[in-house]
């Protein structure tokens, strides 16, 4: 049995959630739908309107009776600050509560400079992006390229982020901006972004990111599956069937990331005498029609598919979304992934499985960061307490 | 963002859920907690009491004021019929809405006899177990040893259940008993049973069953993860690292089940000249202190752990529960599983991971079947409609 709700099931936040289905309602509609007392509905709508979260969008003139005001959710009532931070650059954005991006900027950085350098860069970028006289800021969402303990917002033993382990990211940013700060792994947020904005109907999905690293994010029953310590989806350091004794940057050997990440592909190209160092080089070569690069990317897709096949058997998603820089190079990666997954997974698990390219694209992570904040800001735990004070 | 609720958030079912936390409340408590109109609370409590689901448990005399009636959830108000069906026997039970087993019986069967033989056996057993003059029956829950499309209750290409594919299990049983019938995979229900009755605090867990077959059930964010077509958790037919070309009953080669299931262990023992055919033989030998059997079971544990390691990296559970007949033979299986998982999974994913033996034991599946029915019977979608008619 599920546990009982910890908050009032008929709170202002619950009323707002009713209105978030997009259908405007009159007071009488709400009374009929919820069984709340007329006075309660009036009081809660007043609270939500005073907070700007609900608008009176005019009279309902569809019936012959006395016209009555209709009320609707107002996504523009708050702004959300979002950032998707990678190893070498970040996407920084301002969005509304409906995950519409109002302003976006790319900034260059080196994650190894540590949080006391990087986080002020983000704060500066948000301050520049925020329009003067805009709606109040509901909160900040940050995606980082490593495991994050979501409840505290602290990175948890991140392999490529020297200086970040255990750092109080929300503390530093909240001290600057004075609003709640939520932090998560960037691939989790990429999954949330794809799910929220592009594939809301997919109850169970795996979003794979192939770039300098390899990771994935899981959606289970329509909700992000973060795992016990925020480490779920770590596809990159599972043993690859043909991983052999290739050394991985994590210290182990034979990890998927050691054979199929962008840098691993570049290394394979160098062995064939092709000049390539970074993930971007590989992508550039594929786009320029390099046969060698195309073959290397396709083989990486097969290697990823072999590890993913077991995950598909176990998780039985209806959808696998492949994104990240390498996926943007075209169909080769996806073709390789499909080849292995459809060959190796259980027939039943692949019967209705779609394996597709990212739809939210490079903005998936920042959209997910915005979605995380909007969901939090409008949750009963936050909104009801705020409105009651 | 999550989708808006499809039902009234302040319905009788929501009120009942409030009371299911075990704390009795007065009418005034409920009005204060929910913001519902006093008349609504009174009407809904009257409905729930008329249905027997809420009891007036006497006056609150803790304050100096006028004593007021206190109301509590009454788990005994309905009976639930549950069955956990395996290849060769079934556990059949009657439970209350709190998953307390009121009567249990084991029956022998052969799943290959097909649904028109097996299902009437279950119905007969339930009829014999049901006490005369007992509470009304809320529904039936059945676990089957194969993938099940949960929304229709029809088996979906089950490999060891000839005659069951696509069969309308709920249709046949409901025609006999006249109550709602829910069907799921038995390992899913085992996971639900362990979670509900033994490990309710584990938000993310994997329950592994090792017997004639090998399967698992996943709990994500406190909820059963069934997957897109009900095939999630199919550990047994993932390629085992040392699976080689051992033929599996599914038609593939090298599946985990082909090297680490009960019959596979028995085959390995026969190669060493030990007389063993079934899973029960292996268990009996281990219990009798056979060194060979102990070693074979431990190696099977290692093999299972190697496949499970990738699942742990991907799913990041806080808990792995190992059950099924082989797990009941003692610590050897668990020791082997631990050995591989702690060696092969990511350090972060195993930092706080516990790998333990089943607590719900042989009754985990039937407890899960009862939990599934109780949750359904008390859901807003069912209960509110029922009370409104």
Q: Does residue A149 surpass a pLDDT of 80?
A: yes
My answer on whether A340 and A379 are in the same domain is no
The answer to whether the Cα torsion of A100, A105, A110, A116 is positive or negative is: negative
Matching residue, tokens 């899981």: A218
Backbone angles phi, psi at A310, to 5 degrees: -65, -40
A1 occurs within a structural domain: no
Domain-terminating residue out of B56, B73, B90: B73
Residue contact A10–B9, C-beta within 8 A: yes
Backbone angles phi, psi at A58, to 5 degrees: 105, 175
Mean pLDDT of B231-237: 92
- Tally the domains of chain A: 3
My answer on whether B228 and B326 are in the same domain is yes
In this prediction, residue B333 has a pLDDT band, given cuts at 50, 70 and 90, of very high
pLDDT in tens, B294-317: 999 999 999 999 999 999 999 999
Q: What is the CATH number of the domain that holds B61?
A: 1.10.10.10
Nearest to A325 by CA among A158, A82, A86: A86
Question: Which of A2, A8, A315 is facing B33, going by the closest CB pair?
Answer: A8
**CB neighbours of A384 closer than 8 A, spacing ≥ 6?**
A7, A8, A11, A12, A13
Question: Which of A239, A241, A307 is facing B344, going by the closest CB pair?
Answer: A239
Residue contact B1–A351, C-beta within 8 A: no
My answer on whether A382 and A324 are in the same domain is no
Mean pLDDT of A331-337: 94
pLDDT in tens, B251-268: 788 899 999 999 999 999
My answer on whether A230 and A354 are in the same domain is yes
Q: What is the pLDDT of residue A63?
A: 60
pLDDT in tens, B8-58: 446 788 889 888 888 899 999 988 888 778 888 898 899 999 999 999 988
My answer on whether A183 and A213 are in the same domain is no
Domain-terminating residue out of B21, B55, B73: B73
My answer on whether B322 and B244 are in the same domain is yes
Residue A293 Cα, gap to closest chain B Cα (Å) = 29
pLDDT in tens, A30-72: 888 887 788 888 988 999 999 999 999 887 666 666 678 899 9
My answer on whether A179 and A279 are in the same domain is no
**Chain A residues with beta carbon closer than 8 angstroms to that of B311:** 310-311, 314
The torsion region of residue B93 among left (phi > 0), alpha (psi -120 to 50) and beta comes to beta
B50 occurs within a structural domain: yes
In this prediction, residue B7 has a pLDDT band, given cuts at 50, 70 and 90, of very low
B179 occurs within a structural domain: yes
**Chain A residues with beta carbon closer than 8 angstroms to that of B44:** 35
Q: What is the pLDDT of residue A74?
A: 94
Mean pLDDT of A315-344: 92
My answer on whether A327 and A379 are in the same domain is no
Domain-terminating residue out of A37, A53, A73: A73
Picking from A2-16, A101-115, B144-158, which range would have the lowest pLDDT averaged per residue?
A: A2-16
Residue contact B221–A222, C-beta within 8 A: no
- Check: CB of residue A194 under 8 Å from CB of residue A360: yes
A337 occurs within a structural domain: yes
Q: What is the CATH number of the domain that holds B82?
A: 3.30.420.40
Q: What is the pLDDT of residue A123?
A: 97
My answer on whether A226 and A346 are in the same domain is yes
Please, what is the average pLDDT of chain B?
90
In this prediction, residue A6 has a pLDDT band, given cuts at 50, 70 and 90, of very low
My answer on whether B291 and B275 are in the same domain is yes
Query: Can you give the residue range of the structural domain that contains B50?
Result: 12-73
A287 occurs within a structural domain: yes
Q: Choose the most confident range, by mean pLDDT, from A225-229, B157-161, B343-347, B383-387.
A: A225-229
My answer on whether A375 and A352 are in the same domain is no
A321 occurs within a structural domain: yes
My answer on whether B227 and B265 are in the same domain is yes
Q: Does residue B242 surpass a pLDDT of 50?
A: yes
Q: Does residue B343 surpass a pLDDT of 50?
A: yes
Residue of A228, A248, A309, A376 for testing the chain B interface, max B β-carbons within 10 Å: A228
| A219 vs A203: CA distance, rounded Å | 7
Q: What is the pLDDT of residue B8?
A: 45
Q: Other C-beta atoms within 10 Å of B70: how many?
A: 19
A57 occurs within a structural domain: yes
A3 occurs within a structural domain: no
- Check: CB of residue A47 under 8 Å from CB of residue A7: no
């Amino acid at each position: 049995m599920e546990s009982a709700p910890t908050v009032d099931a008929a709170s202002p936040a619950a009323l707002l959630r009713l209105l978030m289905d997009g259908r405007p309602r009159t007071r009488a509609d709400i009374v009929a739908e919820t069984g709340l007392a007329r006075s309660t509905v009036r009081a809660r709508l007043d609270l939500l309107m005073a907070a700007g979260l609900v608008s009176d969008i005019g009279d309902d003139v569809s019936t012959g009776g006395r016209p009555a005001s209709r009320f609707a959710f107002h996504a523009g009532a708050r702004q959300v600050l979002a950032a998707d931070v990678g190893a070498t650059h970040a996407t920084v954005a301002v969005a509304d509560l409906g995950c519409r991006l109002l302003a976006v900027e790319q900034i260059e950085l080196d994650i190894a400079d540590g949080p006391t350098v990087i986080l002020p860069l983000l704060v500066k970028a948000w301050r520049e992006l925020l329009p003067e006289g805009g709606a109040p800021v509901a909160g900040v969402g940050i995606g980082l390229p490593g495991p994050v303990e979501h409840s505290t917002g602290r990175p948890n033993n991140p392999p490529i982020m020297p200086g970040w382990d255990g750092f109080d990211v929300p503390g530093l940013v909240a001290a600057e901006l004075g609003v709640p700060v939520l932090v998560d792994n960037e691939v989790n947020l990429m999954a949330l972004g794809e799910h929220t904005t592009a594939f809301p109907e997919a109850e169970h999905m795996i979003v794979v990111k192939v770039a300098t690293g390899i990771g994935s994010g899981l959606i289970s029953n329509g909700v992000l599956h973060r795992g016990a310590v925020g480490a779920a989806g770590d596809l990159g350091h599972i043993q690859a069937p043909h991983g052999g004794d290739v050394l991985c940057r994590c210290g182990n050997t034979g990890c998927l990331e050691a054979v199929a990440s962008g840098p691993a592909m570049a290394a394979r190209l160098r062995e064939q005498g092709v000049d390539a160092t970074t993930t971007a080089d590989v992508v550039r070569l594929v786009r320029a029609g390099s046969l060698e690069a195309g073959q290397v990317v396709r083989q990486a897709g097969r290697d990823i598919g072999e590890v993913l096949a077991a995950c598909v058997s176990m998780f039985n998603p209806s959808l696998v979304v492949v994104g990240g820089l390498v996926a943007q190079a075209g169909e080769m990666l996806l073709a390789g992934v499909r080849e292995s997954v459809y060959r190796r997974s259980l027939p039943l698990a692949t019967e209705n499985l779609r394996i597709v390219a990212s739809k939210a694209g490079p903005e998936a992570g920042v959209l997910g960061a915005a979605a995380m904040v909007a969901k939090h800001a409008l949750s009963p735990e936050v909104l009801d307490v705020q409105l009651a004070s």
